[in-house]
Amino acid sequence: MSAPPPYQNHPPQQPYGHPQQPYGQQQQPYGQQQQAYGQQQQPYGYAQQPAPVPPQQRPPQPSLLRGLITAVIVLAVFGGVGWYVWDYNTNPSGGKAKKEAAQAAKRAEEKTHDPQSGDCVKVEHPNGDPLPTIVDCGSSEAQYKAGERLYGAGKECRSPYTYQIQVTQSRGIDYTMCFTKV
């Protein structure tokens, strides 16, 4: 009986010195898989260990040019907003002046439709509702002369008044305007 040859950790030699795999590739031992260049090979069934983490690197320091560009952008934004606010508040034909002029015109228009006792008015019906407009008492447009106001809903004017208008304001104040014929 002959003894088996001693265990050898070498791949078997091919006859005439020809390698078994193409040129440049190594033969893999049984139970291992081929991996990309530079990675450690593990036998089947074993978990692959994570790659080592490189040491912490300092974050790159911002350059002087980047800081200068940021400062210019911030100054431009604040300068633009500041100029807009200044122009809005000081320009005579700017936003604030236009807003105030529109409010003054609205108040003046409302005053022409809110006669006080003794004012002469002409009454128009633009939307079906009577709208008194103050006019000069000597003009041919004057139709009625304003008398007293009766506050409260549903009030009725008594003599000598010949015409009345019920008014309900947006603030919830109801009143009746009484007029006499001119």
pLDDT tens, residue by residue, 125-156 = 878 889 899 999 999 999 999 999 998 888 89
DSSP 8-class letter at 104:
H
DSSP 172: S
Find the mean pLDDT for residues 69-73.
95
First to last CA, the chain: 151
At 110, the pLDDT band (50, 70, 90 cuts) reads confident
Q: Which domain holds residue 164?
A: 113-181
Give the pLDDT of residue 76: 97
Q: How many domains does one find in the chain?
A: 2
Same domain, 144 and 174: yes
Does one domain contain both 120 and 87?
no
Q: What is the pLDDT of residues 148-163, one digit of tens each?
A: 999 888 889 998 999 9
Check whether residue 119 and residue 177 sit in a common domain. yes
Predicted pLDDT of residue 90: 87
Helices (H), 113-164: none
pLDDT at 15: 54
In a domain, residue 2? The reply is no
Same domain (yes/no): 91, 120: no
22 or 108, greater pLDDT: 108
Q: Which residue has the higher pLDDT, 36 or 89?
A: 89
Range name among 33-37, 89-93, 114-118, 119-123 with the lowest pLDDT average = 33-37
78 domain residue, yes or no = yes
Same domain, residue pair 161 and 133: yes
Beta carbons of 152 and 177 less than 8 angstroms apart: no
User: Quick one: the chain helix, strand, coil %, rounded to 5?
Assistant: 25, 20, 55
Whether 104 maps to a domain, the answer reads no
* pTM, rounded to two decimals: 0.46
